[in-house]
Amino acid sequence: MDRTHVDRWLAGYEQAWRTPGTDALVTLFTEDASYQQGPYWTPVVGLPAIARMWEKQREGPDEVFQLTSEIVAVDGDTAVSRHEVRYGDPVAQEYRDLWVMRFADDGRCRSFEEWPFWPGQQPANPPDGS
């Protein structure tokens, strides 16, 4: 696994999100992949279940959003990337996200874990140095 492959995979993910249906998921995820939408969420396991989750989560292929991605690290079969997503025009929702991806030998993702953060999501008593 290298940055070039991860960059192509991230572009494929965005393209799949913008494409009607879920047929493109087979090029991104293994049949037995796990997809965890948050660090404490129960993983969605298997390509059919991931496809159902995608269709439920997105508004559709015409959903207006901007996605910026940055690869943070690649080590062996594991990659970490940082994302900012802004939905709508004007922007009605935004969040920042870290993705931890583990890839199979064929280049598809076998384990996907998100760490999403929304504006205003901070501790009630954030440490401020005082």
Domain boundaries, the chain: 3-115
Residue, of 117 and 6, whose pLDDT is higher:
6
Q: What's the whole-number average pLDDT of the chain?
A: 90
Q: Kindly state the average pLDDT of the residues 56-83.
A: 90
The fold of 3-115 is Nuclear Transport Factor 2; Chain: A, (3.10.450)
Decide if 68 contacts 88 (C-beta within 8 A): no
The CA distance from 41 to 35, in Å, is 10
pTM, to two decimals: 0.87
Q: Kindly state the average pLDDT of the residues 6-11.
A: 97
